[in-house]
């Protein structure tokens, strides 16, 4: 009888521990840190021509892969269009800013890509938002 009572007590304790673990998981939702860059990578300015050409190439590939046929996609795939050769004034992104953005685009889901290339309400992934437009 005592043993049964002890089991019941342990059962309550276990439930409390499981609840605590679930809470800890909820509030501390990896040791995989993300695209933080290589240790020792010195800051160097990003070349606008190379970045925009690479971005257009990825945009075009992803549009085809995801079956997106927006005007933004057509522009990305149009090799006759001139690409920007400089970043906006006061925006000086680094090489790793560009790497982070391009990798994020390469591995974004098709659902996200439709939003990035939308003609109606185009969104920008936070990784590519290194030249934010100043608030009005």
Among 1, 4, 5, 36, binds another protein (CB under 8 A): 36
Closest to 71 measured CA to CA, from 120, 20, 106, 113: 120
**x/- site string to another protein, residues 44 to 63, per CB under 8 A?**
--------------------
- Which residue reads 């889901």 in tokens? 109
Closest to 43 measured CA to CA, from 118, 88, 93: 93
Sites for another protein among residues 62-121 (CB under 8 A)? 92, 94, 96-97, 100, 103-104, 106-107
136 binds another protein (CB under 8 A): no
Provide the CA 23 distance to its chain's centre, in angstroms.
26
Query: Are 134 and 90 spatial neighbours (Cβ–Cβ below 8 Å)?
Result: no
Nearest-approach distance from CB 52 to another protein, in angstroms:
18
- Of 49-57, 65-73, 81-89, 122-130, the window that binds another protein (rule: CB under 8 A) is 122-130
Among 7, 28, 82, 120, binds another protein (CB under 8 A): 28
- Of 24-32, 53-61, 62-70, 80-88, the window that binds another protein (rule: CB under 8 A) is 24-32
The crossing angle, in degrees rounded to 10, of helices 48-66 and 95-106 is 10
Closest to 58 measured CA to CA, from 125, 96, 106, 20: 106
Among residues 63 and 127, whose Cβ is nearest to another protein? 127
């Amino acid at each position: 009888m005592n043993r049964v009572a002890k089991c019941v007590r342990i059962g309550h304790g276990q439930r409390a521990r499981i609840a605590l673990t679930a809470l800890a998981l909820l509030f501390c939702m990896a040791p995989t840190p993300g695209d933080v860059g290589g240790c020792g990578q010195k800051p160097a300015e990003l070349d606008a021509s190379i970045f925009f050409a690479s971005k257009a190439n990825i945009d075009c590939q992803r549009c085809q892969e995801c079956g997106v046929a927006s005007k933004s996609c057509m522009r990305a795939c149009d090799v006759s269009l001139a690409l920007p050769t400089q970043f906006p004034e006061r925006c000086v992104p680094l090489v790793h800013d560009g790497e982070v953005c391009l990798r994020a685009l390469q591995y974004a889901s098709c659902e996200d890509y439709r939003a990035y290339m939308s003609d109606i309400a185009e969104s920008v992934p936070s990784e590519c938002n290194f030249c934010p437009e100043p608030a009005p």
